[in-house]
Chains A and B, each alone.
Chain A
Amino acid sequence: MVLRKWVASITAALILAPAAAMAKPVTIQWWHAMRSARGEVANEIIKRFNESQDQYKVEGSFKGNYDETLNAGIAAFRAKKQPHLMQVFEVGTQTMMLSGAIYPVFQLMKDTGNDIDWSRYLQPILSYYMNADGNLVSMPFNSSTPVMYYNKALFKKAGIDTIPVTWDDMGVATKKLRDAGVGAGMVTAWQSWVQVENYSAIHNIPFATLSNGYEGLDVELTINNPQMVKHITRLKEWAKDGRFVYSGQKYQGPKAEFLAQNAGIYMDSISGIAKLKKAAQFDWGVAPLPVEADMKNPQNSIIGGASLWVFKGKSKKEYKAVAAFLKFLSTNEIQEYWHKETGYFPTTIDAYESLKAKGYYKADPKQEVGITQLKRRDPTKISRGLRLGSFTQIRNIINEELELVWNGNKTPQEALDSAVKRSNIKLKSFAKTYKKRS
């Protein structure tokens, strides 16, 4: 009796064990920085992926804001406990690319036998994350671009019939707004990203040497060029009579001014649409960023947001899982869901066309403004993006120097010269750090 029981249980174990092992999915970790509403959308995507098949399982964890997530990833890599996939904001691109810690996405896809037609992706988005050879190093995830929001009611009150297209139009419109008693003509969020980085891209002016840093580490900033100085000087002029009001480095201040109807025009990321839809008590519209009158064919604007990086040091099986997940993210279903829920762009042309075919943009034209501005022209070497080390610090320097312009401590030329000089020190030190290795 006892023996028979033994035999039975051993046989059962022998039969069940491999089956159990086969049923256990390969698990990969994804660290991200998507909180609250966006976090829920990310979780929903993970859930859908896990339910769509039983070979792989993604575990998502929220690691704080972008800086915190990046630092968590660095600490984890140093302790050899890195996740498979990590979301890093666009300014961290150069640091990640040179980190020696990553497995480039194009390589991963090739090695796992996934033949992907990258030309079916929106090029101005991909180009931000490509290396000098045009190969994709990280997978774009959440991408946005700055646009111009305007208050239709205030426009009517001020007698503005046409939406400003050029910066000259802006001067007239903001003047009218001020004359009608509006507190501020225009406000802008993220001044470095919108007024310097995107202004440069749209007008095809180099932000830095060596194709904005794509072609080498000995890069220097060039934002003290005459046109940039002219643009900042103009804004400074407008600041004197309230046509432009500076209300903070990030978006909270400017958004508050726009929502309180203290400002008629507000420039910020397209991903702000969702918030405005909820909070604005008035009729408003979205338009492309203004351009200079002599710029007949403005370039694409550049993106902000984040991409997904694959860490090295994992097994082949796990990389198969990562590739499957990345492919899943590019499907129309997920791309459309992501775009609708968050306002971030779909990354593939197919998803965009599919949304178009379904009449989504006809029903909600506001959502299309950003994407039209982004893809209105193929990116040039100058408008494809920025590839700078210590970029967060450089943005910080630009912010500081611009603030010194707004509060009258420096002239635009002085401030931009100083921004270039200070940034170049950071860039040099960055180059030194990475050259010692090679």
Chain B
Amino acid sequence: MQKRSVFKSKYLPYVLILPQLLVTLTFFYWPAAQGLIQSFFLSDPFGQSNAFVWFDNYVAIFTDPLYLKSIGITVAFSLTTAFVSISLGLTIATLANRATRCKALIRTMLVWPYAVAPAISGILWLFLLHPSFGVVALALKKGFGFNWNPVLNGGDALAMVIVASAWKEISYNFVFFMAGLQAVPHSLIEAASMDGASPFRRFRSITLPLLSPTLFFLTVMNIIYAFFETFGVIHAVTQGGPGGSTNTLVYKVYQDGFIGLDMGSSAAQSVILMVLIVGVTVFQFKFIEKKVQYAG
């Protein structure tokens, strides 16, 4: 039996995907190609001179110790952000799934932060955690004598941007886990509890495997988010400081390209970033997806 529906005209399917194709071509492939070309040139911002310099821009980047440091920061930052937001999202979803009252209200409240723009979320956290005017920071200093200082201490600054970035993404993860949890058949859980499985065991052996497609999807999405979309948070909170300790790869592209007007280097950095994220995603699909159990 053939499940697939077949178009009568040979061309209709192409016509139908054309709009999407055009959008991808104009907003992804064209700028990406421009970036690739630009990365081999040394040019001034006003476009008055363009000198082809082969791989000079790439060589300069990889011989810069700060760039290598920035890669390390980005990896640490992305993994921690993804881990924190996924694990908290899962925990909250599991708890909310058990709520018997006001389920809809609880869910809405928990989804809310996702509607906040990254830059605004950054500012919110800054008002809580800035050592000079942050409410929480001042309370920590005065109440507990805890010297919290993200303006000076790189570790504190990194913690602050991770908290601000993860906070926003928890809601996103929450929505998907919530949907995933509702798809777990109750009969399985009940059968397991009759067999005497503890709540933790039930979660580990039944819920988690059935959630694995969601978990996999969210891991990919969260890492991409942490790589690219946390720009707003970092820009609002630390601007890459102190001493470059929160200068992730994306923020460096902005600093060198938009602020520093060094087009060649920032284009080369974008290309590296693109290769990196494609690599990570391919890796995830190739090796981790094997462990995912799709229902059906």
Residues of A bordering B, CB below 8 Å: 67, 70-71, 74, 77-78, 95, 98-101, 246-249, 252-254, 256-257, 260, 262, 390, 392-393, 396, 399-401, 403-404, 406-407, 409, 422, 425-426, 429, 432-434, 436-437
Q: How far is the CA of A95 from the CA of B48 in the complex (A)?
A: 12
A14 to chain B, nearest CB (A): 45
Q: How far is the CA of A113 from the CA of B47 in the complex (A)?
A: 31
Q: How far is the CA of A127 from the CA of B278 in the complex (A)?
A: 50
Q: Considering the complex, give the chain A residue whose CB is closest to the CB of B255.
A: A396
Q: How far is the CA of A296 from the CA of B13 in the complex (A)?
A: 83
Since A78-B47, A99-B44 are in contact, a sample of 19 more A-B pairs with Cβ atoms closer than 8 Å, ordered by chain A residue number, is A67-B259, A77-B46, A78-B46, A100-B48, A248-B151, A252-B133, A253-B130, A253-B131, A260-B132, A390-B261, A396-B259, A401-B243, A407-B154, A425-B60, A429-B262, A429-B265, A433-B44, A437-B48, A437-B49
- B279 CB-CB contact with A under 8 Å: no
- B72 CB-CB contact with A under 8 Å: no
Tell me which of A254, A396, A399, A401 has the highest count of chain B C-beta atoms within 10 A of its own C-beta. A396
Structural contact, B49 and A433, CB atoms closer than 8 A: yes
B21 to chain A, nearest CB (A): 26
Contacts of B132 in A (CB 8 A): 247-248, 252-254, 256-257, 260, 262
Structural contact, A407 and B242, CB atoms closer than 8 A: yes
Contacts of A432 in B (CB 8 A): 42
User: Provided the pairs A246-B151, A247-B151, A253-B132 are in contact, do residues A436 and B262 lie with their beta carbons within 8 angstroms?
Assistant: no
Contacts of B284 in A (CB 8 A): none
- B112 CB-CB contact with A under 8 Å: no
Contacts of B43 in A (CB 8 A): 433
Q: How far is the CA of A254 from the CA of B265 in the complex (A)?
A: 33
Structural contact, B244 and A400, CB atoms closer than 8 A: yes
Main secondary structure of the interface of A (DSSP, over half): helix
Contacts of A396 in B (CB 8 A): 255, 259-260
Q: How far is the CA of A249 from the CA of B47 in the complex (A)?
A: 32
Contacts of B241 in A (CB 8 A): 249, 399-400, 403
- B51 CB-CB contact with A under 8 Å: yes
B138 to chain A, nearest CB (A): 9
Counting chain B residues whose Cβ lies within 8 A of the other chain, the interface size class is: 20 to 34
- B45 CB-CB contact with A under 8 Å: yes
- B239 CB-CB contact with A under 8 Å: yes
Structural contact, B243 and A400, CB atoms closer than 8 A: yes
Structural contact, A390 and B262, CB atoms closer than 8 A: yes
Q: How far is the CA of A247 from the CA of B255 in the complex (A)?
A: 22
Q: Which residue from B42, B46, B239 sits with its C-beta under 8 Å from A74?
A: B46
Structural contact, B44 and A437, CB atoms closer than 8 A: yes
Structural contact, A247 and B51, CB atoms closer than 8 A: no
Q: How far is the CA of A101 from the CA of B256 in the complex (A)?
A: 21
Structural contact, B151 and A436, CB atoms closer than 8 A: no
Q: List 30 A-B contacts (CB under 8 A).
A: A74-B46, A74-B261, A95-B45, A98-B44, A100-B44, A100-B48, A101-B46, A246-B151, A247-B151, A252-B132, A253-B130, A253-B132, A256-B130, A260-B133, A392-B259, A393-B255, A393-B259, A396-B259, A396-B260, A399-B241, A400-B241, A425-B60, A429-B262, A432-B42, A433-B42, A433-B51, A434-B44, A436-B51, A437-B44, A437-B49
B40 to chain A, nearest CB (A): 14
Contacts of B276 in A (CB 8 A): none
Chain B positions 104 through 147: 1 when the CB is less than 8 Å from some CB of chain A, otherwise 0? 00000000000000000000000000111100000000000000
Q: Considering the complex, give the chain B residue whose CB is closest to the CB of A392.
A: B259
Contacts of B255 in A (CB 8 A): 393, 396
Q: How far is the CA of A248 from the CA of B244 in the complex (A)?
A: 13
A178 to chain B, nearest CB (A): 17
Q: How far is the CA of A5 from the CA of B127 in the complex (A)?
A: 73
Q: Considering the complex, give the chain B residue whose CB is closest to the CB of A255.
A: B132
Structural contact, A403 and B152, CB atoms closer than 8 A: yes
